[in-house]
Structure 1
Amino acid sequence: MTGIYDFQVETLNGETQDFAEYQGKALLIVNTASKCGFTPQYEGLEKLYQQYKDQGLVVIGFPCNQFGSQEPGDADDIGSFCQKNYGVTFPMMAKVDVNGKDAHPVYEWLKKQQGGFLTDGIKWNFTKFLLNKEGQVVDRYASTTKPEALQADIEKLL
């Protein structure tokens, strides 16, 4: 795999999502969790998606249970939680690992493209990667960075 558009992933509802379908769009890829102190960021992520989707932004959530077991549910639980509590309409993928020997290939690629502070590993839920319309990672944001803080960076890419 050489670029983001080479990957295929499983969606939360069990279908295959080909990232090639996202060519020409800016992407915000986020590892998510339903029982985390940062979980309210779902609301901000959905607002970004609604505000910029018609201009070419796609927010993509990857649920992950690797940090404090804060995403314990199955696909139905996750989907219901996100829709009921935050009205999430952006694409949600199947639950993945983002670190370790079973880390999803998308996350292995993302971490190689944009390393982190001290280590390339994902440190917690709601780490965000912003990709331009050419599929290149342009920035990585910590869990503590609120979605609304990304507006200016997103607007530059659109």
Structure 2
Amino acid sequence: MSNIGDFSVQGISGETVDLARHTGSVVLVVNVASQCGFTPQYAGLQALYEQYKDRGLVVLGFPCNQFGAQEPGNEAEILDFCTTKFNVSFPLFAKVDVNGENAAPLFTWLKGEKPGLLGIEAVKWNFSKFLLDKQGKVVDRFAPMTKPEDLSAEIEKLL
């Protein structure tokens, strides 16, 4: 796999989504959860999406229950939570594992392209962020504590 366009994933409503549709866009991939201390970042992710979507940014949210069981709901519950509590309009996907033998192939690729601190590939917690350029290549990786609004300068460079 050479870029995000090589992957298909399951949308939050069960449909297959070919990520090639986002080739030509700057993409921010985030593993998300609804019962995490970082959950308020949904508001910041939505604000980034609204600010830059007309210029070519897309935020992709992948719910994950691997960290403290902080995403226990099913897809319908997750979608309801995100849309009613945070007015999320960016694409959300079916729950995935981001680490381990059942890790989604997309996250295995993302981690391999941009390992974290000390070269450790594993995603450490919810709201880890991967920023990709318009060619679908991983440019940077950000820790969960990095607030979405702190990514504006990096996004501007890629748009």
TM-score category, normalised to shorter length = over 0.9
The residue that corresponds to 1:62 in the other structure is 62
TM-score in terms of structure 2 length: 0.98
Q: Which residue of 2 aligns with 1:78?
A: 78
Post-superposition shift, 1:117? Answer: 1.0
- Counterparts of 1:1-158 in structure 2, within 5 Å, are 1-118=1-118, 119-158=120-159
Q: CA deviation at 1:3?
A: 2.1
CA distance in 2, matches of 1:18, 1:27: 14
Structure 2 contact 2–137 (Cα < 8 Å) conserved? no
Instruction: State the secondary structure of the residue aligned to 1:29.
Output: strand
Q: Distance in 2 between matches of 1:151 and 1:21?
A: 23
CA shift, 1:99, in A, is 0.1
Q: What is the distance in 1 between the residues matched to 2:49 and 2:16?
A: 21
- Residue 20 of structure 2 aligns to which amino acid in structure 1? A
Name the amino acid aligned to 2:142.
Y
Return the TM-score normalized by structure 1: 0.99
Could you say what secondary structure the match of 1:107 adopts? helix
Q: Structure 1 residue runs of 4+, over 2 Å off? A: none
Q: CA deviation at 1:2?
A: 2.9
- Say whether the 8 Å CA contact 2:35–2:70 is kept in structure 1: yes
Q: Percent identity?
A: 59
Could you say what the CA RMSD is over the residues aligned between the two structures, in angstroms? 0.6
Residue ranges of structure 2 left out of the alignment (5+ in a row): none
Deviation track 1:29-68 (CA, whole Å, cap 9, x = no partner) reads 0000000000000000000000000000000000000000
Q: Deviations over 1:52-96 (max 9, x none)?
A: 000000000000000000000000110000001000000001000
CA–CA separation in structure 2 for the residues paired with 1:27 and 1:76: 24
Q: Count how many residue pairs are aligned between Structure 1 and Structure 2.
A: 158
